[in-house]
Amino acid sequence: AAPGARIVNVSMEGLADGSLDDVEVLLRGPLPADVFDRLLARAPRLTWVHSATAGVERVLTPSSRARGVVITNARGVFSQPIAEYVMLMILAVSRRLPQLLELQHERTWQPLEGVELRDLTVGIVGLGSMGRAVGALATAFGCRVVATRRRSEEGTAARSADLEDAAPGELRLERVLGPEGLPELLAESDFVVLAAPLTPETEGMINAETLALMKPGSWLINVARGRLVDERALVRAAREGPIGGAVLDTFREEPLPPTSPLYDLPNIIVTPHTSWSSGRVLDRSIELFCENLRRYRLGGPLLNAVDPSAGY
């Protein structure tokens, strides 16, 4: 992608195996924000950072904003496996798989009635590439789909690379609301899927007040960021209502401590931040970075450029 480039390896602690004085590009993995800021101070020529994750809260720091560093992310790389994970959980809950497995463990023969997906409303909070992928699969299964998003996509310059940006199939949305439509979405959705980025506006958006607005018996699915959810309020809502339960793949503290009450509730499904994982992800991630590296070398526009004002 960039013949003749010099590669410097940097550890998670920020230790580099070479000089950073002339480094222009950083391919960033799960590097902590404080380590990133220290690297930034040691790399005066750094102009572009590609985050191998979709979330950029650890790289969109005050220091990188002040420097005007261009940031791109992995939007679209993980959308397909995450959408499949969401549909797995919607199917499992609707067809009562947890209860059936419990009955099997008890050696009890007790048929249970399920719910057909065409009778369900799926509400998607955040209509980026991940939200669109979830919506396309939900549409294919016959679900009614409503969504909220921060802004129209019209006029945005940095579309994701053509790396399976959305799930195969047609995306049909019954309604798309602005952020002010969240209470409406919560009140009518059988499954609420969090697919929004973490920003000052979205942090803690699912709290005691918004949980109280959810449709009785509905489920929350979080495949975005743990800090979107007030976990204490969620535990209370799962125990006392109105929600039927929750599927959580991301948490405020990771790994989730063994002492967390989230492990103990029978109507909360906990998975270890694995919804994004598949055998294809690494190939797509490398393909996206190399395509952007080619564009950078030639002075072209980069894919997946992050809008610092929006935070994603």
Active site amino acids: 225, 254, 273
Spatial CA neighbour of 269 closest among 182, 191, 196: 191
Output the 3-class SS for the chain.
CCCCCCCCCECCCCCECCCCCCCCEEEECCCCHHHHHHHHHHCCCCCEEEECCCCCCCCCCHHHHHHCCEEECCCCCCHHHHHHHHHHHHHHHHCCHHHHHHHHHCCCCCCCCCCCHHHCEEEEECCCHHHHHHHHHHHHCCCEEEEECCCCCCCCCCCCCCCCCCCCCCCCCCEEECHHHHHHHHHHCCEEEECCCCCCCCCCCECHHHHCCCCCCCEEEECCCHHHECHHHHHHHHHHCCCCEEEECCCCCCCCCCCCHHHCCCCEEECCCCCCCCCCHHHHHHHHHHHHHHHHHHCCCCCCECCCCCCC
Measure the CA angle with vertex 79, ends 26 and 294; round to 5°. Answer: 35
CB 117 within 8 A of CB 144: no
